[in-house]
Amino acid sequence: MLITNVDPITFEVLSHRIQQITREMGITLERTGGTVTTTQQHDYNASLYRPDGEIMAAGETYGHHVVCAGYAVKRILERFGRDEIYPDDIFLLNDPYLAAIHNPDVYIISPIHCQNVLVGWSATFVHVSDVGAMTPGGDSPEATEIFQEGIRIPGIKLVERGKLRRDVFDTITHMTRQPEAVGLDLKCEIAANNVAKARVQSMYEQYGPELMNAVSSQLIHYTETILRNRIREIPDGSWTETLTIEADGDCRLFLTLKKEGDHLVFDFTGTDRQVRKGINLPFHGTFGFCFGAVLYSLAYDLPKNHGVLRPMEVIAPKGTIVHVQYPGPISMSTTSSGFGVGFLASSVLMQMLATSEKWKREIVAPQASHRNCRHSGVNQYGRYSPFINMAHGALDGNGARVNSDGVDSGGSYMSCPNVEWMELHYPLLYLFRRHATDSAGAGKFRGGAGVESAHMLHDAPEGKIRGVAFGVAGLRNSGHGMFGGYPGAPSIMVLLAKTKANSLVEANRPPVDLAEIGGEPRVLPYCNFELSKDDVLYMRVASGGGYGDPLEREPELVRSDVINGLVSREGARDIYGVVLNGDSTQVDLAATQRQRKKIREAELR
């Protein structure tokens, strides 16, 4: 019996239950995993798919991985065919030319059967600790082709009819620098898929496959219908944006958004050719980042499923940075061109929303994300450990809105590991982690302030550890300002050599002032480097752009920002035109009026 319409109450109950399964998958990943990316940063995917690979539901995860996991399901279907996919099989895939974004993104895909009929799939992804690339951890600035970036698996059975293939498992983990950690990553993914399979099978057995298939189909139709209606409410038009990443020279990304009726076309024609540096992005990653931008703007309150994809088209010419061709390197793509595509897509969508009286209140000034760092070396317990240092990375400042400030250290869905956890597990000492003064884009409503942090070695047996600098590089990349708002400060990573930090610690003086710490500064591009004794690594994430004229900001709000260390007294005076009295407790209104008049006259000249 084919069910074409589900009553509203049944639909609400069952659709929310499906969504809850994806949340339980994420909880399982966190509780059974043991690496920093999974348990602390929540850098994972947990989602469900229909039998053909269409997105059924997604948990709390980046949108681009939801799309890429769907590609992984389709690749497994193509590779094995339904005749070779048995109940209780589990597959593994991490090939960036097929579905993953880079090799450390290992997708574990599990078919879900009910009465021996394939009714759906569960899919997880974890950024594993190591993949045997030329650089520990997998982000390889010196790689010039995919062969140097670690193991690459186009799809293999990891579990066959419920039994772990120990030969396959051991082969994969033993090609890495951390077989125990990678093995734990894979096992937590298997656990999450097993939970999903049990919960979905229980629903199918309780309600029947006809009703469940109807619910999942209607869920997708619900999202698609509302999204198309929203797009239709916005005037037709075309909008463009560019971004330059400083990698193998200046690498330019270009995007045009065309909106007609209820259809969106993201056209990357004009983007530079792929380069011999691992910032290149596979097409499915480009599609995924565009999906994420639509999800977080027009579809922010809709169920995350295939209905978001249906009104979208993505054009990415082959051989460009956003559609890499074999064997171009891709190891740093997620946090460089990937986040760059997300920024471009968000920017053109915000331009589009600004043309609509109804939707312009949803505008958020976008920003181009941040630099990242990965370390490797012997830790304080004598064990070799490659690890990503994200004790700051999820603390970007969000952009301002049309009626409110951006969120300070608002970040993304990823969590930021606490400093104590990082210091407990790795040979590091954090000197500070705080909001960066004068980093937020000024405006009538200012952007959110990003975080700056600094760390050095502590209890490192070898007196040094390796480092890898990656992430969106370029001093021109920051949070956009809108309608007169200023851009936020860009993300930056600086290695300070031969500092006074250890001397200050020995003198019982906290090394929290960069001028006092001193040292020989070197701004780090995409590169490998070494962190040695007396070196300090300083990192600042991106801050959000402002909205509106800074001279129209309420003086009391500026005063509050000064008191909280988000704006300096000089910034208050020179940018916002707000003059404070000697102790910063009150605004000098007369002096403020004169200062704002002076700034306005200078602008007009």
Q: For residue range 318-354, list pLDDT tens digits in order.
A: 999 999 999 999 999 998 999 999 999 999 999 999 9
pLDDT digits (tens, 9 = 90+) for 494-533: 999 999 999 999 999 999 999 999 999 999 999 999 999 9
| Cβ atoms within 10 Å of 12's Cβ, excluding its own | 12
In degrees and rounded to multiples of 5, residue 246 shows phi and psi of -90, 95
Tens digits of residue pLDDT in 543-567: 999 999 999 999 999 999 999 999 9
Q: What is the pLDDT, as a whole number, of residue 7?
A: 92
- Residue 390 banded pLDDT, cuts 50, 70, 90: low
Yes or no: say if 93 and 153 are a contact pair by the CB < 8 Å rule. yes
pLDDT number for residue 143 = 97
Ramachandran bin of 77, using left for φ above 0, alpha for ψ from -120 to 50, beta for the remaining angles: alpha
Q: How confident is the model at residue 2 (pLDDT cuts 50, 70, 90)?
A: low
Q: Quick one: tokens of 288?
A: 């995924």
Report pLDDT digits (tens) over 103-113.
999 999 999 99
- Distance from C-alpha of 440 to C-alpha of 408, rounded to nearest angstrom: 8
Confidence of residue 13 (pLDDT cuts 50, 70, 90): very high
Residue 258 pLDDT: 98
Q: Cα separation of 53 and 72, whole Å?
A: 8
**pLDDT mean across residues, the chain:** 93
Average pLDDT score over residue span 225-242: 97
Q: How far apart are the first and last CA of the chain?
A: 76
Cα Rg, the chain, nearest whole Å: 25
Residue 5 pLDDT grade (very low, low, confident, very high; cuts 50, 70, 90): confident
With 90 as the cut, is the pLDDT of residue 474 above it?
Answer: no
User: With the CA atoms of 541, 547, 549 and 555 taken in that order, what torsion angle do they form, in degrees rounded to the nearest 10?
Assistant: -80
User: Which of 376, 469, 396, 384 lies closest to 436, judged by CA?
Assistant: 396
Burial class (CB in 10 A: 0-12, 13-18, 19+), 179: middle
Q: Kindly list the distances between the CA atom of residue 497 and the CA atoms of 127, 462, 565, 574, in Å, as whole numbers in the listed order.
A: 31, 17, 27, 33
Give the pLDDT confidence score for residue 540 in this predicted structure. 93
Can you read off the two tokens belonging to residue 574? 């020179």
In this model, does residue 415 exceed pLDDT 80? no
Question: Are 187 and 135 contacting, i.e. CB atoms less than 8 angstroms apart?
Answer: no
Among 39-48, 198-207, 241-250, the range of highest mean pLDDT: 198-207
Confidence of residue 248 (pLDDT cuts 50, 70, 90): confident
* Pairing between β-strand 105-114 and β-strand 55-58 as defined by DSSP bridges: unpaired
Q: Which letter does DSSP use for residue 493 in this model?
A: E
- With bands split at pLDDT 50, 70 and 90, how would you rate the model's confidence at 475? confident
Query: Residue 478: its pLDDT value, please?
Result: 78
Read off the pLDDT band of 1 (50, 70, 90): low
Q: How far is CA 378 from CA 30, 66, 76, 391, 534, in A?
A: 25, 35, 38, 19, 18
Tens-place pLDDT, residues 258-274: 999 999 999 999 999 99
Q: Which two tokens stand for residue 439?
A: 């980093």
